[in-house]
Amino acid sequence: MKRLAGKIALVTGGGSGIGLGVAKAFLGEGARVAIAGRTESRLREAAKSLASDSLMTHAADLADPDAVRSLIKTVTDRLGPIDILVNNAGLNIKERTFRELTPDSWQLLLRANLDSAFYCTHEVLPAMLKRKDGLIINVSSIAGKRAGPLGGAAYAASKFGMSALGICLAAEEKDSGIRVSNIYPGEVDTPILEVRPQAVSAEHRHRILKPEDVAAAVLFVATLPPHVSIPELVIKPTWQVYV
């Protein structure tokens, strides 16, 4: 029997990279999956590559609480109550040093990386509490535990905030049947590399994590029995320093 048979999952940022990898892994284990993101065309391409009758897409600005409310209602109406939420949506910018940051770019990263996770969690939690069952997985970043110039101050601040959100919620709801896990990937070969201040070489891309590596970690957490919780999980390329 497939390990996620009968489960409904929502994966944000599901049009590419880690989110697309998670959707593929979940579908392979029998889940019905909704992928959400800002770009309709990217979601269509993702759906074409996944080619599954158990998949739905929904384009939404996840930094808009009204759009998130509509997203959760649409997914619930079409697929059923959401059992697993994967908060994976996020972005970074090229102009990421503190000297380059502006109030607008600061707010852009906080909204995309932190507010979106809060809004999605806020919308799915009541139904999970009613059922006394639910899993929320936050795909944060090593930058959410070890701030540094590579990700930049605003990106790190947003990911630290996401990490705190998950840790606090897990502690508050430990007796409610709700599990919350933060996953902290190191460098991953995803489209976010396209906005690095310096171009990333093919050799470097070859050495870092692939989306399916992180998806395997998410799947591991998602397929554990309800009495088991992984509060935090760090996954990185072998060569990458973690101190």
- Provide the residue ranges of all domains of the chain, joining segments of one domain with +: 8-235
Q: In what order do the strands lie in the sheet with 8-12?
A: 55-59, 32-37, 8-12, 84-87, 134-139, 178-185, 232-235
For 103, counting Cβ atoms within 10 Å of its Cβ (0-12 exposed, 13-18 middle, 19+ buried), the class is: exposed
Helices and strands (H and E) in the chain: how many:
8, 7
Does 155 qualify as catalytic in the annotation?
yes
pLDDT for res 165: 98
Q: What is the DSSP string of 188-231?
A: B-SGGGGG-SSPPPHHHHHHSB-HHHHHHHHHHHHTS-TT---S
| CATH number assigned to the domain with residue range 8-235, chosen from the 4 options 2.30.30.30, 3.40.50.720, 3.90.550.10, 3.40.50.2000 | 3.40.50.720
The mean pLDDT value of the chain amounts to 97
pLDDT in tens, 70-112: 999 999 999 999 999 999 999 999 999 999 999 999 999 999 9
Identify the band that residue 243 occupies on the pLDDT scale cut at 50, 70 and 90: confident
Cβ atoms 89, 109 nearer than 8 A: no
Catalytic residue among 119, 155, 184, 242: 155
The predicted model gives 105-132 an average pLDDT of 98
